Amino acid sequence: MISVLFVCLGNICRSPMAEAVFKDLIAKQGLSDKIFIDSAGTGNWHAGKPPHEGTISILSEKQISVEGLKARQVEKADVQKFDYIIAMDVENLGNLRRLAGYDKAGYIGRLLDFVPESDIADVPDPYYTGNFEEVYDLVKKGCEGLLQTIRKENSLSCLNENNIG
């Protein structure tokens, strides 16, 4: 099974949004039994808490489930466990690379690396900006690009070709 971990600062806005969006995408493509998805934060302030109300609101509006999402802090073991570790911004990317150190790790990169046409490299933190709609749009594009990459790198075919992002 392929494993993907989305990471932001507190794990209540961007990374749980990405986790939910990605789960929705793979479910629609019939790949839920092939890809494991989780999210975490580099900080521990919100551990055990549900996503931010803005994240819940935008996902509910888009009819994407937030069931089971609870904040947690990324751990050293995650570096070896996950095939793809996807940071929302350069600060968290740096934190993840420091955490990984010289240990063997899967791919560690930013979500918007999978959106070549993007004018920005980092998903802005809506905890500070309040713009959950912009973040959702960026996360959705990033997740679609990431899924295309994962499918290509792992020779995964969709069971439902009508829902390819």
Backbone angles phi, psi at 72, to 5 degrees: -150, 160
Which residue in the list 13, 110, 125, 151 is annotated as catalytic? 125
Distance CA 51, CA 157 (A): 31
* Plot region of 130 (φ>0 → left; ψ -120 to 50 → alpha; else → beta): left
User: Tens digits of per-residue pLDDT, 93-102?
Assistant: 999 999 988 7
Per the prediction, the chain carries an average pLDDT of 92
- Rounded to whole angstroms, what are the CA distances from 84 to 4, 43, 54, 57, 125? 5, 19, 26, 27, 21
Q: Note the pLDDT of residue 3.
A: 97
- Quick one: which of 89, 56, 60 has its CA closest to 71? 56
Nearest CA to 89 out of 121, 118, 55 is that of 121
pLDDT (0 to 100) of residue 158: 67
**Residue 159 confidence (pLDDT):** 60
Let me know if 125 is a catalytic residue.
yes
Closest CA to 36 of 18, 23, 51, 17: 23
Known catalytic residue: 143? no
Per-residue model confidence (pLDDT) at position 29: 92
pLDDT at 18: 98
For the chain, the maximum distance between any two Cα atoms, rounded to a whole number of angstroms, is 42
- The contacts of residue 118 (CB under 8 Å, 6+ apart) are 112, 138, 141
Please confirm, yes or no, whether 13 is among the known catalytic residues: no
Q: Which of 14, 78, 122, 143 is catalytic?
A: 14
Q: What is the CATH number of the domain that holds 140?
A: 3.40.50.2300
Among the listed residues 115, 110, 119, the one whose alpha carbon sits nearest the alpha carbon of residue 142: 115
Residues 79 and 85: beta-carbon distance below 8 Å: yes
The tens-digit pLDDT sequence of the chain (165 residues) is 999 999 999 999 999 999 999 999 999 999 999 999 999 999 999 999 999 999 999 999 999 999 999 999 999 999 889 999 999 999 999 999 999 887 777 899 999 999 999 899 999 999 999 999 999 999 999 999 999 999 999 988 766 554 444
The residue range of the domain holding 75 is 2-163
> How many folded domains does the chain comprise?
1
